[in-house]
Chain A
Amino acid sequence: QVQLQQWGAGLLKPSETLSLTCAVYGESFSAYYWSWIRQPPGKGLEWIGEINHSGSTNYNPSLTSRVTTSVDTSRNQFSLNLSSVTAADTGVYYCARSRGPGAVDFDYWGQGTLVTVSS
């Protein structure tokens, strides 16, 4: 049974850096890509970026200047940093698993973290 458990700060001030981590339990970490997806309040889903076990990354072009992802294979964890946040970055952030570039088969998701950016 695959489980994704995520955590990170939920309240940020403008210009701060959002940091989230997702731990993967129960399945081969190296066989998949690991994504971050966000959802502003009352709105749709937006893919932020993905990383695999070797550190290969792909980012949404609209966010690439502010996004950094990393992976810790010893702990089966991956992380997201989003710099210079504004109110527009407020929303629920999810981590999710897929088969990688070309695939949009997010079959396992974290529980979501509500991130609020407010002064």
Chain B
Amino acid sequence: QSVLTQPPSASGTPGQRVTISCSGSSANIGSNYVYWYRQLPGTAPKLLIYRNNQRPSGVPARFSGSKSGTSASLAISGLRSEDEADYYCAAWDDSLRGPVFGGGTQLTVL
């Protein structure tokens, strides 16, 4: 059981905009930054969004993050087939004194 809650799956068609939600508590998302990772099968996760809505160098502007209260969202616009992957949210948890992750959302491009 993950500390952060994500839907197990999401889907969209090429060109569409999809959002993935992440729900937490006042101990994590409510009081700390949210991060998003993308993981392709058989590879290590890749940092996609940091500090709620910042994109590392090289991450396209199609990816955006937002946070409100104890929830956060990742939006992907102009969906492409190569966006098929697992997406994880993460945040620091003040109670656990460490990072916590969501259970992951498997994105399918139809």
Contacts and interface: CB of A to CB of B under 8 A. Distances in A.
A50 B97 CA distance: 11
Contacts of B50: 104-105
Interface residues of A, number: 25
Interface size class on chain B is: 20 to 34
Interface residues of A, dominant DSSP = loop
A82 to B, nearest CB: 16
A33 B50 CA distance: 16
Interface of B: 2, 32-33, 35, 37, 43-47, 50-51, 56, 88, 90-92, 96-104
Given A60-B96, A94-B45, 9 more contacts: A45-B45, A47-B99, A60-B98, A104-B90, A104-B91, A104-B99, A106-B47, A110-B44, A112-B44
